[in-house]
Amino acid sequence: MQLEVRSAGAAGASGGATHSGLKTPRAAAIAGILFSVLLFIALVLLLHSVQVRSTDRGEWLGRDTWSVALALNLVPFSGIAFLWFIGVLRDRLGAAEDRLFATVFLGSGLLFVALLFASASTIGAILVVHAAAPTELQGSTAFMIARAFAYNLTTIYALKVAAVFLMTASTIVLRTAITARWTAILGYLAAATILLGSQIFDWTIFMFPTWVLIVSINILVENYRPATTEREPDITP
C-alpha cells in the first residue's frame, strides 16, 4: 500500500513537472514580447517629442505632452512584463541555475527596471510642474536640471545595467542552452555596443528590447515546434 502511494505521488510530481514545462517557456515568450512591444512604443512616442540630448530646453512642453504622458503610462506595464520575463526564465533554469550568474542576472534586471521607472518619473514630474505653471518651467534652470538628470539616468546608468543583464543572460544561454545559442552571440554584441556607444548613438536604446524580443520569439517558436517522439526499444527475442 505504501509503495502504491509513493508511486502515485511520483506520477503526480512528474505530471506537474510536465505541465510546468509546457507552460513556462510560453509564459516567458509572451512576457518578453509584451515588454519589448510596450517599451518600443513608449520610446518611439518619447523620441518623437522629447529631444534626446540633455540640452533640451523644453520646446515640446504644451505641444506634445499627450504623447509623452501616454509613453510614461506604458513604461510601468513594460517593467512589470520584464519582471515576469525574468522570473519565468529563472524558473526554466531550475537546478541548472548558477548562484553567481543568477545573482547578477536578477540584480541587473531589477536595477534596470528601477532606473527606468526613476527616469520616467522625472519626466512625469516635469509634466506635472508644467501643468501647474505653464509659463515658468520651459527653458528654466529647474527644467534643465531635471531633464539632464533623466537623460543621464537613462543613457549612463539604465543602459549600462541593461548591458550587464545582456552579458549575464547570454552567458547563461551558452551554459544551459535554454534557447538558441546564436542569441547569446547577439547578446554579447548588443552589450558591447551599448557599453561603448550609449552616450554617442541614440539608437542604442532600442538594442535591449530588440534582443529580448528576438529571444522571446525564439523561445515561442521552439515551444510550438513538434517534439520528436522516441520509439520504444524492441524487447522481443
- In this prediction, residue 95 carries a pLDDT of 66
> Would 55 be classed as within a structural domain?
yes
Per the domain annotation, does 2 fall within a domain?
Answer: no
Chain centre to alpha carbon of residue 232 = 42
By the 8 A CB rule, do 217 and 25 touch? no
H-helix segments, the chain: 2-49, 65-93, 99-132, 141-152, 159-176, 182-197, 207-224
pLDDT of residue 224: 72
Whole-angstrom distance, CA of residue 193 vs CA of residue 158: 14
Q: The whole model's pTM is what? A: 0.78
Would residue 67 count as lying in a domain?
yes
Q: Is residue 181 part of a domain?
A: yes
Long-range contacts of 64-71 (CB under 8 A, 24+ apart): 65/127, 65/130, 68/123, 68/127, 69/124, 69/127, 70/45, 71/41, 71/42, 71/43, 71/45, 71/46
Does 14 map to a domain? no
| Domain housing 56 | 25-223
Residues in CB range of 58: below 8 A, 6 or more apart: 126, 130, 137, 138, 139, 143, 147
Residue 3: inside a domain: no
Q: Is 150 within a domain?
A: yes
- Return the pLDDT at 78: 95
- Number of domains observed in the structure of the chain: 1
77 assigned to some structural domain: yes
The answer to whether 223 touches 33, Cβ cutoff 8 Å, is: no
Which stretches of the chain score pLDDT less than 50?
Answer: 1-22, 228-237
pLDDT digits (tens, 9 = 90+) for 40-73: 999 998 887 776 665 666 677 777 788 888 999 9
